[in-house]
Structure 1
């Protein structure tokens, strides 16, 4: 009753408002209302809500809109009312529980849209509000987690709106993470979807330009040019034309065609000078490209002047990044103004360091959130699985009681089918978990590698500037550099293990001569030998050709020789090979007279992160990685437990 009274008062107010507004506005609203087939009262009140979308009072107004739409049986306006609540928390001022509120109302509109068969509202709020919010807040792992869920749902349901929204979201996320290979995939998917289903093509120019830019980032200029040519076919206005010219100018600068770049820059500047909308929306983009042009042509004074204009505009919007300071540093370096160059690089380093610290804090929170959500999902799946098992058990007993003699064969067949389905689901779940783990490790390793590369680079610069007399400082910088390189090696090993675990094959189709390879390994290992240690090479015959993967084989054997050199104080290290005619295999052995490995630890050393001496250097991944590589090449890596004078590692490879 109270709701009806409120609705009646609102309707009376809207009628008065409708009569008092100017005629031309009245006409515009009527036109839009007829376009969307919306009741006039609902439409006017919705417009009023839109005008107050940032105000706290709009939440109550949207509840009123929902009740009015419910009374008139308008499901679409009910969905609009709920969806507009996500607009309020997305566009409104920041506050402590903003993210939680945005999640709550995104889930609310998703549930309502599913129940009323209006998926477009579900995907709009999910992609353009929640995921975009995560992306803008640099919570990229959370954004990627939500986008992947959205992609699975939309593709399984074959809902075009969802696929279009999630491809756009994934493109933005991977661009923000600077993973342009993956961004290229989703840029192309977005274009293919638009063309296949004849969706709105007015923005196809920009979509092709995004694809072209991704190809330039991955150094594929030929594909970038093809995308540029396609973008030209969909230019519909001067805004598209300006964007196309910027993309063309970026391409010519990348390919060092400065003659065409100069002509394109002149044409672009003329277009921007006469189009106000272009200057407002794309001025910064043009200034950044123009800066790169003058750097390439060696006109550093012009480059600095244009850069300063871009820097001021970006400063006003709060978009200053370490890359901007590095660009300014490179310009000053070229101008030989080393003091200002140093100041710019120092600011880039300080900003990069603060951003990395902030991103680490955000990442910790993201992973905690993801793990929490995964835990809830896992519990839900376990409850569903238990319920399914109970139901399955009941059915099975019922069938046995009714048909134990007549249909025993059918019962057995049914049971086998059900068990196969359960196993298949379990296998699919395991593969999905493995893929998520691999993506997680790769993304985190990428994030870790960036600050580590900075540490290595600056420690090398620091070392080069310290005089030879300052031995203590020299020692400290060397320790920093060694530690950083050790961490980089650990990241590389973890990435490689993750890649191989995910099923990446190792081709073995390159023909090599084994003696030539062995001599390379021996020469490389000599520099690691300790005084008094002899390196011996013992081939079975003068020449042997086989098909294998020389890079991977060298990786494994070189690591074994390096290990032997580390742990052998005196005596010899022997590299030998022979052919096993029964098994048609090549057997390579690395034998030393070093400290050896205790009998009870000989299987342990092949485990990941296994180290007999915890104080020794190394990652503990070398032997585990070597064994995995050999298995991928249809071979094996074992320790000869019969040899007691040191260590003897034996590699076996099939001979084609």
Structure 2
């Protein structure tokens, strides 16, 4: 008897502890919301973080993500982008854990996290990374088959396109959403679309879009009055018709009632056939979905096998190459190609493992790199470094490798009398750029899209294997940054390496 009482006491104590923990998490979230309303942002952020941790430990994934996103927004409101990105990664891990425990996908939570991450890249004016997040949002919304997420996606697409000046694509997204609401006769949502679009245009400082949207909104406001009046008229007409039908039904004979019964039976038969056809279509859809999932799984397995196969070939080439004359250009090129292939594969497999950072004087660092290419330039080529005497945390070895590769390329393609220069610029509290520019021949427009993609063309390996820029791009990604070509620069070539601390 005593053992039973002890067990019951422990169970009661356990339930009480869980209830207290849940109440504590809800109280933290409520306090955070109150402080946010008072514009006490630092205190609100701290409380949201505490609530995030509490809800995560209780497997309350929806509330945990909500608190994590609010805390992240308060971080990047003060330009603490590194902390904001780390918090979103933690929230993503919580969702992945929840999917494993519950055995089902949670697309709406992933959508909210990726949407917040997209907003940060938009604020950072990083179209490449913003586009990656937009693609992930599109995939998540498509997989969820949720009308609410799809509508939210159209808003998000419009915000992205208008922010980066892609007005045609932005118009397409918002017009599609407005069209859907018009078909549904949801006039309040149409009004909301126009107001949201005006707000997006204001944030993007797009005065023509603001004016154009106001004009459309005014025209819509006038037309909706007529539509509303017509709808009211239709309702009155329908009620009148219904009244006539009731009178006719009361006056109808037994034979007419029989016809109604027959008609209902026919309708029931039609509905039964429709249900059977619908079930058949649903079963076919389920079968196709399973086949597609299987195909994706097989494709991923094949991709892994392909990577291992390329690495094995590269490793097996080394003993054979060691038996050949190393002074031959072709042998040297094959050695370099083999090394680059292995390095490319290793980088792809370790992108989530960050490099160690050291604090360096940027001016001294950039000058030392520029000194290494002075003997490799053409005659009378001017080289210059524009970097302040500022200490910044970097990975010197990998950063030097990227900049040295870009500068060596510039030295090779810049003719006599030209100019090569390296600039350093801060773009926020936790963002900075290294910009390498030259007055060389530049990169043809048809080749720009593929310069960071490996194996896009067959080349004479003695003239280079084309893997230098793809490797540099992966290194930049691993350093929490990006390497891009400035397509607006037309006096040669200009590469921008942007890093986030």
Both structures adopt the same fold (TM-score exceeding 0.5): no
Greater Rg by CA: 1
Taking CA–CA contacts closer than 8 Å with sequence separation of 6 or more, which of the two structures ends up with the larger relative contact order?
2
With normalisation by structure 1, the TM-score equals 0.31
With normalisation by structure 2, the TM-score equals 0.40
